Amino acid sequence: MRIAIVGAGVIGTIFAYIFGKVHDVTLVEVVKEKVDLYRREGYTIIMPDGKEVHVDDVNITNDPKEVGVVDLVQISVKGYATEAATKGALPMIGDETMVLSVQNGLVHDIIASVVGKEKVIAGITAHSGMPVKPNVIRYVGGYGPLLIIGKYDKKPNERFNWIVEELKKTGEEIVVVDDIEPVIWKKLVANVACNPVAAITGMTSVEALACEDTKALIKMLAEEVVEVARAKGIYFPEMENIAEFVYEAFAGTKDNKVSMLQDVENKRRTEIDTLNGAIVREGEKLGVDVKANKVITHIVKSLEFMYDKR
């Protein structure tokens, strides 16, 4: 199967390595220096057991037209770049192409608005990693399947089934569900409740969960997500005791820094718009009180505003 992965970042590179064992994979990256670096030196993945795998001879380009139409495009950029990345990918998307995303946050409607809902394979990954150097990535590993996915329009067809079978040839655990929304929202609630709290306090989960005030803030954010989910008709059992669920999810990150804290510390734009910002937009549309998420969105955006001013 021919696959193009847009965004040669942490997840894009890890997935290129995994899919590339079986399939013909091309990375598409906007940053020209990164394309040159990957072409010149390849990339290294530090595997969960500490072994280093080096990949030379990387298929990577900044020109999607060079790639042509593929079977599967994976959008693997930060939430705020989703629309630009999907529009940029259009030369690789033909009648039969499907578009996969395991990005965090509410991004699948953005992708669907560009390519059509019937082409979108939405989902999450339980795998993660972090950058070490521009072409060295630490693959933290998986706390569950590589992919939990579903056809976003809930209408699986032969093409979708074929792509799933091809992906399974990697030997990775790939779970297919009929309705992907609850899966996305279950991960979303953890990211929305924990990431900005870590980002503004500088706390790891160990520190945050030792503080009753921080836990109260996490709970408020999570409860608003649940109200929005209910208003949208989305249900997953953990909604019944959401605070306990998000505390446990956060505890799972141990003393690692969540991505939004890493972003703020490195003065990088955060994913606040497709996480808490998206909850605010959805909540306001549906008449749900989302004040806590609105306040924390303003705080994180204020931090971003100050990046180049100090």
Ligand X SMILES: CC(C)(CO)C(=O)C(=O)O
Ligand Y SMILES: NC(=O)C1=CN([C@@H]2O[C@H](COP(=O)(O)OP(=O)(O)OC[C@H]3O[C@@H](n4cnc5c(N)ncnc54)[C@H](OP(=O)(O)O)[C@@H]3O)[C@@H](O)[C@H]2O)C=CC1
Residue 282 engages ligand Y in binding (rule: CB under 6 A) = no
Considering only 78, 108, 119, 151, the residue that binds ligand Y (CB under 6 A) is 78
Of the pair 192, 288, the CB lying nearest ligand Y is at 192
- Residues near 51 by Cβ (< 8 Å), separated by ≥ 6? none
- Minimum Å gap between C-beta 227 and ligand Y is 23
Considering only 3, 4, 5, 11, the residue that binds ligand Y (CB under 6 A) is 11
The residue type found at 266 is: N
- E strand residue ranges, the chain: 2-6, 24-28, 43-46, 52-55, 60-61, 70-75, 93-101, 120-124, 127-133, 136-142, 147-151, 174-176
Helix (H) or strand (E) holding 98: strand 93-101
Nearest Cα to Cα of residue 276 among 188, 217, 200, 203: 188
18 phi, psi to nearest 5 deg: -70, -50
Range in contact with ligand Y (rule: CB under 6 A) among 9-17, 208-216, 239-247, 293-301:
9-17
What, of ligand Y, ligand X, none, does residue 31 touch, CB below 5 to 8 Å by kind?
Answer: ligand Y
CA distance 193 to 155: 31
Map residues 86-115 to x or -, x wherever contact with ligand X holds by CB under 6 A: ------------------x-----------
Nearest Cα to Cα of residue 74 among 35, 125, 126: 125
What, of ligand X, ligand Y, none, does residue 201 touch, CB below 5 to 8 Å by kind?
Answer: none
7 CB neighbour count, 10 Å cutoff? 23
299 CB neighbour count, 10 Å cutoff? 15
Q: Which residue is nearest to ligand X (CB)?
A: 259
Of the pair 93, 147, the CB lying nearest ligand X is at 147
Of the pair 70, 81, the CB lying nearest ligand Y is at 81
Of the pair 16, 249, the CB lying nearest ligand X is at 249
Residue 195 engages ligand X in binding (rule: CB under 6 A) = yes
What, of ligand Y, ligand X, none, does residue 293 touch, CB below 5 to 8 Å by kind?
Answer: none
Tell me the HSE value of 197 on the side-chain side, using a 13 A CA sphere. 29
Under DSSP, the state recorded for 149 is E
Token pair 């690789």 in the structure block, residue: 92
What, of ligand Y, ligand X, none, does residue 67 touch, CB below 5 to 8 Å by kind?
Answer: none
Map residues 127-146 to x or -, x wherever contact with ligand Y holds by CB under 6 A: -xx-----------------
Q: Which residue is nearest to ligand Y (CB)?
A: 9
C-alpha of 83 from chain center: 14
- Minimum Å gap between C-beta 156 and ligand X is 27
Residue 29 engages ligand Y in binding (rule: CB under 6 A) = yes
What, of ligand X, ligand Y, none, does residue 214 touch, CB below 5 to 8 Å by kind?
Answer: none
69 CB neighbour count, 10 Å cutoff? 14
Nearest-Å Rg of the Cα atoms of the chain is 19
Applying CB under 6 A, the residues found at the interface with ligand X are 104, 128, 191, 195, 253, 256, 258-259
